[in-house]
Amino acid sequence: MNTQNTTPDAGDNIKTLIAELKTKMRSLGAVDAKGSSSRPEAALRLVDAAFEGLVDESDAADMFGEYATGVAKAAAMNPLVTSQGNGDQNSSKQQVSKFRQFIKVGMLPQIDARDTMARAVKICKDLDATEARTYSRFDALLNVAREQVKTSDTSLTDEQIIGVVTKAESADKTTLDRIIAAYKAAYKLATDLPTARTEAARDAYRDEIIAMDGDVPPMTKEEKAEHAFMSQAAARGYFQGHLRLAAE
């Protein structure tokens, strides 16, 4: 951040605020390392700091570096702490790019990005109470930041925010597809927690697949091996040939 054009007192104040921001980033990284995702808060802090002129795009690597330092220190101090894994070079570049997006949106001159992000947080919380499928909070805010940067002269509407934080259902996903997915989940649950109710739920989904003329997916190793063999045989016309001979 360039502070050459400020008065000495103003420059000292900015340096203090930047130092406090770096300390906050390290503390958020430490929280993240302990299993509580703090990246959404880090994102909002970057937006605020950029809006206030404390950071610009060139500071993204430095800010992520502070965050990563907090993660690493927390992991080193406690063997029970698991780092969230942003250590490799490619991942670090991706994380720096994400941090930069929040700085970019905060720097937009015609937009109060703080308001946009505050509305996004509220919308995400409201959607959490529904059956809507949303992105993780950090990814949702990242999508909002990217979309707002694209339309840098007009604030995003609530409808636009909903559109980028909500996962779209696959257009070709049928009811049968959903039942098969539910069967797989119920099968795993009944295996991990075998009770009369979990097994009944598993069997109900299986029966529904059959009733809809669907193929019950193989779940055990034996079923998968048999399914693979049958698929290969069918692809080679083995069954068609035998059916033809049987008809004759």
Give the pLDDT score at 243: 33
Give the pLDDT score at 227: 62
Give the pLDDT score at 22: 95
- The tens place of each residue's pLDDT in the chain, 248 residues long, gives 544 444 556 668 989 999 999 999 999 999 988 777 899 999 999 999 999 999 999 999 999 999 999 999 888 887 655 544 444 445 788 999 999 999 999 999 999 999 999 999 999 999 988 878 899 999 999 999 999 999 999 999 999 999 999 987 655 567 888 899 899 999 999 999 999 999 999 999 999 998 887 888 888 888 777 666 555 544 444 444 443 333 33
Q: Are 75 and 34 in contact (CB under 8 A)?
A: no
Joined tokens for residue 8 = 């000495």
Give the pLDDT score at 9: 63
Strand stretches in the chain, DSSP E: none
Radius of gyration of the chain (CA): 26
Distances (CA, A) of 98 to 92, 134, 190, 194, 208: 10, 18, 40, 43, 44
Identify the three-state secondary structure at position 134: strand
The CA distance from 8 to 14, in Å, is: 10
Backbone angles phi, psi at 134, to 5 degrees: -115, 160
